[in-house]
Structure 1
Amino acid sequence: MSVEKPFSQASANNRQPILEQLQQVFATPGTVLEIGTGTGQHAEYFAAALPHLQWQPSDHPEALWMCRQRLREAGLDNILEPLALDVGVTPWPVTACDAAFSANTAHIMAWPEVQAMFRGVAGLLPAEAVFCLYGPFNYQGKYTSDSNRRFDHYLRSQAEHMGIRDIADLKALAADLGMILEADHSMPANNRLLVWRRCSP
């Protein structure tokens, strides 16, 4: 009897718009670390569409099971074995990557975990490499839509540590770590794709 794989409708909906941006910023061969692989739908889709990349899935140890069956069945040579990665625990189980990607994680993580994610990425990326972060974000403390406001209230009702992050806070955090916001792309459903670039020393 086949086991139904975990599935995210949001991942199915947003994968193509995200891919169109990743095709531009992940144009050269290398290894991309994905933080928060979840169901593995993004990893499977992006690795298939970007065969010049080695895709390194990772997720919190308690969530890593969600992607394993899908990625195993995908049978793609450029998807590496998923890693158990708790962003707040050092050292990370990966020592180098050429780029990083994460979707819909910053509003789920506690703020100290967001800080830890940025620190970890900044420590891994070589100069001029990029970190693409997808999700909903606020600007100057304001929501970009009523749906994001409702979503934020829902998140905070589920757990105090969750919530939509403000671009200004992320920019300040990134700047302290030697990263700048190079691009901010509008995406469907009031989401954004933020492209952070690691500055040269």
Structure 2
Amino acid sequence: MTADVPAHDPALLTPAGERNLPHILRFLAPHLPAKGRLLEVATGTGGHGLALARSHPGLSVLPTDFNEDAVQALTDWRGPNGPDNFLAPVRLDAADAATWPDGTFDVVLCINMIHISPWSATVGLMTLAGQRLVRPGGLLALYGPYVEADVETAPSNLAFHESLRARDPDWGLRALEDVVSEARSSGLRLTHRAALPANNLGLLFRSV
């Protein structure tokens, strides 16, 4: 990017998102195709998808979110700000196949959704990725906090889990083995795990 065109718009990121964005981009960059279609599930404010669109101009990035207000806010921002390969956002409920976009994708990206949604959304995400990713080798990329067997969970993550459960008993940090198992049932194989700030994991799955 040129000096006068930043890779992202800080207005589209929470403070935590702003801190973690460089780590997420470095994690993803070696694994993304030079060209193709990327579907972002649970884009939120849209900052991650925008950064990927600007740093990977060969990718067309389709941002989606469950929340209609988030979709409308990002639509309003995108109109005057672009870029062209950052497509118009649409509403997507991972648990409702009727809302899924048509066609196939080279990449499905989901950041910080699995722990703040019911398990049915994770099941839907894996089913969506299994059906919409190109085969073989389509990429599902996840980022967020998990509980791992034989790995001590950070106290901050335990406290976060309890706070999520207090807000909604269907939310909370998921066991990584359960997520991997659900992915496998949709024809997706875990190929890479990376520890990322702050006490989060980056996970890559490939369609087989």
TM (norm. structure 2) is 0.88
Q: Does 1:8 align with 2:4?
A: no
Q: Secondary structure at the match of 1:100?
A: strand
Runs (5+) with no aligned partner, structure 1 = none
Distance 2:62 2:128 in 1: 15
State the shift of 1:28 in Å: 2.5
Q: Secondary structure at the match of 1:123?
A: helix
**1:104 matched residue in structure 2:** 112
**CA distance 1:165–1:111, change in 2 (3 Å):** same
**2:186 matched residue in structure 1:** 177
4+ residue segments displaced more than 6 Å? none
Deviates more, 1:144-153 or 1:70-79: 70-79
Distance 2:200 2:61 in 1: 23
Q: Does 1:167 align with 2:173?
A: no
Q: Secondary structure at the match of 2:114?
A: coil
Distance 1:134 1:90 in 2: 22
**1:132 matched residue in structure 2:** 141
Q: Does 1:65 align with 2:72?
A: yes
State the shift of 1:65 in Å: 2.4
The percent identity for this pair of structures is 29
Assess if the C-alpha contact under 8 Å between 2:39 and 2:108 holds in 1.
Answer: yes
Assess if the C-alpha contact under 8 Å between 2:21 and 2:48 holds in 1.
Answer: yes
**2:43 matched residue in structure 1:** 37
Paired amino acid for 1:93: P
Q: Secondary structure at the match of 1:57?
A: strand
- Give the counterpart of 1:17 among 7, 13, 23: 23
Runs (5+) with no aligned partner, structure 2 = 1-10
Q: Does 1:189 align with 2:195?
A: no
Paired amino acid for 2:102: V
Distance 1:56 1:122 in 2: 17
State the shift of 1:141 in Å: 8.1
Paired amino acid for 1:26: L
Deviates more, 1:138-147 or 1:160-169: 138-147
State the shift of 1:34 in Å: 0.2
**CA distance 1:66–1:142, change in 2 (3 Å):** farther
Task: Figure out how many residues of one structure are paired with residues of the other and give that number.
Answer: 195
Spell out the pairing of 1:45-56 with structure 2 (5 A cutoff): 45-56=51-62
TM (norm. structure 1) is 0.91
**1:198 matched residue in structure 2:** 207
Q: Secondary structure at the match of 1:180?
A: strand
